[in-house]
C-alpha cells in the first residue's frame, strides 16, 4: 500500500477508517493496523428504517463493524448523519424520480456525505487521514496536486462515483485497497479471520440496501398508470408509472408479442407516457453527442485546451469511450463520441479520463439528436 502522503511516524499518524460493515473497509482497517498506524474505526449511520423483512440494515452492518474492530483490537465509534443524508441526498433522489429522471445517489452521497460531512467529522476527531474501502488510487500530478486514479482492478474500479472529490480532500484520503484485485482483498480478510470475510458485496440504494425498488419508491411517490406508446404514437400496452422506467430498459415492461424485445427509448412525463420500440439496436436509443452541466473537476476547474481528446463513461462499468470535449459555454460542457452511445440518460453522470486519471465529470442534461431523429442506421456503427 502506497502511503507517501504520510510525513511522520506511522505510530503517531491517526487514520480513521470509514467502516461500512463490508469486507473492503474491514480489510482497509486490517492493513493499516498491520502497517503500524493508529487506526480508529468509524461507522456512519445514514438510514434507520426497517426493510420489508423487518430488518434494520444499519444495525446489522454496525454489528459487523464491532466484530471486526474487536478482532483487530482497534477503537470504534458510530456517527449519525441521518438528517444530512435525508436532506442532502435522499430528498433530492426522490424529487428527481418525481420529475421522471433516473438519478444516481452514489455520486451525490460521496460528494455531500462521505467526503464532506463524514470527512470533516474525521478531521474533527483528530484524524490525519480518512481511509475508505473504495477501489481507487491517488497520485501527485506535475503541479504537486493529488489527482484521482482508477483502481487497479478494472472490474471494481469506483472512480466513476468519486469524480467530485477535490484535490485538497484527496490529499487527506487513503485508499488502502485501491492497488489490489478483489480476489486478493478476500484472501486478506481470510488471513485476518475477519467476520466479513465471506460477506457479499453490498448492492441496492446507497446506505439503504437491497429492496423491492418499486415498493420502496411507492412509499414516497404516487405512481399513475399510463400508456406504452411507440414513436408513431401507437399504444402497445399499459405501464404502472412513467417515473419508474429508464432509457434502455428491457426487463419488467410486460410487453410481448411476435418480434424482437421491447425497449424504453424515451419518456413523456407530462403525458405519463413511456415510449418503446422493438430491438436492442433501435436507432432511437443511440446518439453520438451530449450536453452536461453541474461540472466538477478535481483541480477545481477545467484547464485543458479545447477541443480536448479524452475518454469517458456515461454509466458505471462501461468501457472507456473515446470522445472529444468540444466546448464549455455558460456552465455547460459539450461532448462528442467517436461511436454512438446507447441509452444516454439525463441526470446520470458522464465521467472523464485522461489515461488512468479521472479528472472530473458532469451531470448529463440531454443527449444530442438520436439516430432515429437523424434518419441514420445504427447497425454499421457498432
Known catalytic membership, residue 206: yes
Residues 44 and 72 in one domain: yes
Residues 45 and 184 in one domain: yes
* The last residue of a domain, from among 191, 215, 250: 191
Task: Specify whether the CB–CB gap between 162 and 298 falls below 8 A.
Answer: no
What CATH number is given to the structural domain containing 247?
Answer: 2.30.30.280
Residues 78 and 104 in one domain: yes
Residues 262 and 293 in one domain: no
Give the 3-state secondary structure of 136-195: EEEEECCCCCEEEEECCCCCCCCHHHHCCCCHHHHCCEECCCCCCCHHHHHHHHHHCCCC
Residues 21 and 48 in one domain: yes
Query: In the chain, which ranges are E strands?
Result: 14-19, 38-45, 76-80, 129-131, 136-140, 146-150, 173-174, 226-229, 235-239, 262-268, 273-278, 286-297, 308-313, 321-329, 332-342, 349-354, 357-367
Residues 297 and 318 in one domain: yes
List 28, 69, 136, 206, catalytic entry: 206
The verdict on residue 233 lying in a domain is yes
Q: Is the pLDDT of residue 307 over 90?
A: yes
Q: Is the pLDDT of residue 353 over 90?
A: yes
- Domain count of the fold of the chain: 3
Instruction: Give every CB contact of residue 21 below 8 A, 6+ residues apart in sequence.
Output: 43, 60, 61, 62, 63, 64, 65, 196, 199
**CA 346 to CA 367: how far, in whole Å?**
8
* The last residue of a domain, from among 278, 296, 322: 278
Residues 315 and 340 in one domain: yes
What does the pLDDT average to over 265-282?
94
What nine digits make up the cell of 303? 484547464
Q: Which residues of 180-215 are buried (b: 16+ CB within 10 A; e: fewer)?
A: bbbeebbebbeebebbbbebeebeebbbbbebeeee
Residues 289 and 257 in one domain: no
The verdict on residue 64 lying in a domain is yes
pLDDT tens column, 220-236: 888 899 999 999 999 99
| Residue whose grid cell is 491517526 | 14
Residues 234 and 328 in one domain: no
List 69, 109, 136, 310, catalytic entry: 109
* pLDDT grade for 337, boundaries at 50, 70 and 90: very high
**CA 178 to CA 31: how far, in whole Å?**
12
Q: Is the pLDDT of residue 299 over 50?
A: yes
The verdict on residue 196 lying in a domain is no
**CA 32 to CA 187: how far, in whole Å?**
16
* The last residue of a domain, from among 191, 206, 236: 191
Range of the domain at 237: 223-278
* pLDDT grade for 100, boundaries at 50, 70 and 90: confident
Residues 258 and 153 in one domain: no
Rg of the chain (C-alpha set): 22
* pLDDT grade for 54, boundaries at 50, 70 and 90: very low
Q: How far is CA 169 from CA 18, 47, 128, 299, in A?
A: 15, 25, 12, 11
What nine digits make up the cell of 337? 463520441
**CA 79 to CA 94: how far, in whole Å?**
24
Task: Specify whether the CB–CB gap between 262 and 250 falls below 8 A.
Answer: yes
SS3 379: helix
Question: Residue 206's pLDDT is what?
Answer: 60
The verdict on residue 205 lying in a domain is no
**CA 307 to CA 325: how far, in whole Å?**
6
* pLDDT grade for 382, boundaries at 50, 70 and 90: low
The verdict on residue 41 lying in a domain is yes
What CATH number is given to the structural domain containing 105?
Answer: 3.40.50.620
Residues 79 and 93 in one domain: yes
The verdict on residue 210 lying in a domain is no
The verdict on residue 184 lying in a domain is yes
What CATH number is given to the structural domain containing 356?
Answer: 2.40.30.10
> In the predicted model, what is the mean pLDDT of the chain?
92
pLDDT tens column, 240-260: 999 889 999 999 899 988 889
The verdict on residue 130 lying in a domain is yes
Phi, psi values for residue 113, rounded to 5°:
-115, -70
* pLDDT grade for 203, boundaries at 50, 70 and 90: low
* pLDDT grade for 208, boundaries at 50, 70 and 90: low
Question: Residue 4's pLDDT is what?
Answer: 67
Residues 23 and 146 in one domain: yes
Among 188-197, 206-215, 258-267, 355-364, the minimum mean pLDDT is found in: 206-215
What does the pLDDT average to over 361-368?
97
Amino acid at each position: 500500500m502506497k502511503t507517501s502522503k504520510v510525513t511522520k511516524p506511522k505510530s503517531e499518524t491517526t487514520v480513521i477508517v470509514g467502516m461500512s460493515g463490508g469486507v473492503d473497509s474491514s480489510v482497509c482497517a486490517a492493513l493499516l493496523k498491520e502497517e503500524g498506524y493508529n487506526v480508529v474505526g468509524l461507522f456512519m449511520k445514514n438510514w434507520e428504517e426497517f426493510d420489508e423483512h423487518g430488518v434494520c440494515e444499519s444495525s446489522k452492518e454496525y454489528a459487523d463493524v464491532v466484530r471486526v474492530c474487536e478482532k483487530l483490537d482497534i477503537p470504534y465509534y458510530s456517527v449519525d448523519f441521518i438528517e444530512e443524508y435525508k436532506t442532502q441526498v435522499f430528498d433530492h433522489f426522490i424529487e428527481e424520480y418525481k420529475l421522471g429522471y433516473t438519478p444516481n445517489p452514489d455520486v451525490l452521497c460521496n460528494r455531500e456525505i462521505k467526503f464532506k460531512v463524514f470527512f470533516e467529522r474525521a478531521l474533527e476527531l483528530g484524524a490525519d487521514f480518512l481511509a475508505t474501502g473504495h477501489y481507487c488510487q491517488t497520485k501527485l500530478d506535475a503541479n504537486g496536486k493529488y489527482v484521482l486514479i482508477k483502481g487497479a482492478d478494472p472490474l471494481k474500479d469506483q472512480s466513476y462515483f468519486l469524480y467530485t472529490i477535490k484535490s485538497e480532500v484527496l490529499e487527506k484520503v487513503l485508499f488502502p485497497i485501491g492497488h489490489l484485485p478483489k480476489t486478493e482483498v478476500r484472501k486478506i480478510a481470510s488471513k485476518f479471520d475477519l467476520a466479513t470475510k465471506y460477506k457479499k458485496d453490498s448492492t441496492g440504494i446507497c446506505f439503504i440496501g437491497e429492496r423491492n425498488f418499486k415498493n420502496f419508491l411507492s412509499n414516497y411517490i404516487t405512481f399513475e398508470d399510463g400508456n406504452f406508446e411507440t414513436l408513431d404514437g401507437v399504444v402497445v400496452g399499459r405501464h404502472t408509472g412513467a417515473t419508474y422506467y429508464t432509457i434502455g430498459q428491457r426487463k419488467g415492461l410486460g410487453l410481448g408479442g411476435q418480434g424482437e424485445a421491447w425497449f424504453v427509448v424515451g419518456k413523456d412525463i407530462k403525458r405519463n407516457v413511456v415510449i418503446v420500440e422493438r430491438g436492442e439496436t433501435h436507432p432511437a436509443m443511440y446518439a453520438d453527442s451530449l450536453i452536461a452541466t453541474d461540472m466538477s473537476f478535481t483541480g477545481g476547474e477545467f484547464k485543458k485546451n479545447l477541443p480536448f481528446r479524452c475518454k469517458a463513461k456515461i454509466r458505471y462499468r462501461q468501457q472507456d469511450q473515446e470522445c472529444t470535449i468540444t466546448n464549455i459555454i455558460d456552465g455547460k460542457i459539450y461532448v462528442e463520441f467517436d461511436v454512438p452511445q446507447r441509452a444516454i440518460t439525463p441526470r446520470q453522470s458522464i465521467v472523464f479520463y485522461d489515461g488512468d486519471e479521472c479528472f472530473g465529470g458532469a451531470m448529463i442534461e440531454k443527449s444530442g439528436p438520436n439516430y432515429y431523429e437523424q434518419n441514420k442506421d445504427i447497425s454499421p456503427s457498432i
